[in-house]
Chains A and B, each alone.
Chain A
Amino acid sequence: MLCLRLESLHMDYDATHWECCWDRDLQSLEDCPNLVEGDEDLLVSRSRRFLEKCCDCDMFKRDLARFKESGHPLAPIFSVLHNDYRRQRSHIQSLSSFLDTKSLEVRFLHELGSVLQSSVDLEEVLSVALTAITSGKGFGMNRAFLLLADKDRHFLRGHLAIGPRSAEEAGRTWHEITSNDLDLQALSRAFRHSELTAERDKFRDILDRLVISMDNIHHVVVRSLEEKKSLLVHDAFNNPDVDPALAQLLGVDSFLVLPMLARNRRVGVILADNAITRQPITDNDLRSIETFTFPVAFAIERASLYERLQEEVAKQQEANRRLQEQQELLVKMEKMALVGRITSSIAHSIRNPLMVIGGFARSVLKATPDNDPKRSFIDSIVAEARQMEEVLDEILTYSDALYPMHDFWDANQLVETVLRDIQEKVLAQNYTCRFYPADGLPQVYADYKQLTYCLRNILLGTIDGLEDGLLEISTRLDNDQVEILIEDRSNRLEQEELEALLTPFAETRKMGSGLNLALCRNILEKLGLPFSVVAPPDDGIRYSIKLPIHKEEQP
């Protein structure tokens, strides 16, 4: 409309009177100083050229002034319309710019929301949240501190922080971020994998001191959480509402307090500041950031719950595993108890006739002259009967060992007692036995009878049939257990032989009768005592028994 009216004015004035080109078609971009490359279509479209270029052109303004001076009655109206058009256009431009900013913000929040919703990993959520606050693509704060409420909701404790500690570091980090041009997820992932621990350590001195009692309702951080309201703190060093210790710890005059609540549960608080750039924090910053604390709080809560759930699942799995082990052990124990009863019964039935055979054979032997050729036969009967009695003793001792005698014992004394018991046999076989007792060992909770039986049999099994060997026994404290370690430096075993040795009634002539070690293993398993035998190539055989120092650890 304005354009048409101006064109009509052209009828009354000579074209050469107008400085601006609004009233004519142009041949080239050089004909108008406001035209730039890409504006070619404006050469012939006068109305568009007028609206886009002429309205802001100084030449047009001068044309308009001259027109006003001409005294034409429409001149003042044109001025009013021109000014109003320019004002409206400026307003539209500012609105458009605002919308662009908001659109970017929404896109960012959407990206943030997607990342947060898809993660149940607490560390990832925290990385995303703090990266979002401090990245230039996000809210662009210099530093962010995350305080999480402890399980009992008694204290807020510094958990994680992000940001540079100095201007130099800031310049380096921000340059890296800009040059890498990563999106939020990539940024937070990179942060989580490479820098999370480092950042935590970097801010350890501050995080460790960021402990705020949640009962202290006057504390600005707790108040923010109680009132469920984000706060922009100004003049922190002189602000009566701010704990001077907090201001001192952060070392900034102004910071944001962003409470995080999920279903009314107080999850934690984020503190953010511009400690490096000292750029003032505005209410707009506050409003922008507080929109994102809600999904962050939910994500943290969900991730925490997931983490706890995982812990519970792990505990449950561990409990199931233990239960299964116990069940297997129980089945084994029942079998062993049955074996014990059977062997005991058989042994008893055998012992009496064996005793009669052996006894009468001895009687006959006594009455047999030395030169009697039958004497060697009787000798054999006596010897075989004695050997069978020894096997019976072993089996009966095992049956006997099925009845426990639990109490607290001194592991060193226990080993010494066993060593004394077998001393004679050790000496007879010219074996060297060295004992290295650990000092200050706590007492162990174990079945004395069964344990000494096992120790004795392991040691005797080791030296059985061998001479001039070396046996080293030591004790040591291993966490909540006392370990008895028997190191047999003289024997060598292959894995198959070791397995055979641990199988009941198997025969490995290298080492004992084969029954001993298998029985010991079963007894120790029944007692719930970890027992291991390893035979490293060319390094002897090592037996390890671990004994609990607490009664409750005994299954």
Chain B
Amino acid sequence: MNRILVVDDEVNIRLLYAEELKDEGYEVATAATSAEAVEKLEQNAFDLAVLDIKLKNESGIELLQRIVKERHDMPVILCSAFSCYKDDFSAWLADSYVVKSGDLTELKEEIKRVLAKKAQRRAAEL
């Protein structure tokens, strides 16, 4: 079972993601801040992280940069209310970018696509 870390400062969104992604068969952990996310990443191994960009203290982009630097094998999907971040070069570090929506179909498809790509990469490495 793939483990996903969801980082968002909105409790209801964390709940929604957790609920929906569990229904999809993923194991989900959530974090409200960047610091909490780092802590959870150090304690557990995750297959993928879904990050909100607007977080308190450290932004999702900064957290993304840290993850890419320290855990380059873990894919990240950025999730934001702003579509303009798609053109932000720093956001290009992410494996995917999804604009927040009550319809989580796109997010779920992206998760599947990114995880499949990761699996392919691993298989190729082996």
Chain A residues packing against B (C-beta within 8 Å): 344, 347-348, 351-363, 366, 382, 385-386, 389, 393, 396-397, 399-400, 403, 449
Contacts and interface: CB of A to CB of B under 8 A. Distances in A.
Contacts of B84: 396, 399-400, 403
Given A351-B100, A356-B102, A362-B103, A396 B83 contact: yes
Listed residue (B23, B54, B102) with the most chain A CB atoms within 10 angstroms of its CB: B102
Contacts of A360: 12, 16
A393 B102 CA distance: 13
Nearest to B85: A400
B83 A348 contact: no
A359 B83 contact: no
Contacts of A355: 13, 16, 81, 100-102
Contact of B83 (A357, A358, A397): A397
Contacts of A354: 102
22 contacts: A344-B82, A348-B81, A348-B82, A355-B81, A356-B10, A356-B12, A356-B13, A358-B101, A358-B102, A359-B13, A359-B104, A360-B12, A362-B104, A363-B19, A382-B102, A386-B103, A389-B102, A396-B82, A396-B83, A397-B83, A400-B82, A403-B84
A353 B16 CA distance: 11
A362 B82 contact: no
Nearest to A402: B84
B59 to A, nearest CB: 14
B27 interface: no
B114 interface: no
**Majority secondary structure, A binding face:** helix
A396 B81 contact: yes
Contacts of B23: 363, 366
A355 B104 CA distance: 9
B110 interface: no
A339 to B, nearest CB: 16
A375 B82 CA distance: 31
B101 A352 contact: no
A359 B81 contact: no
Contacts of B101: 355, 358, 389
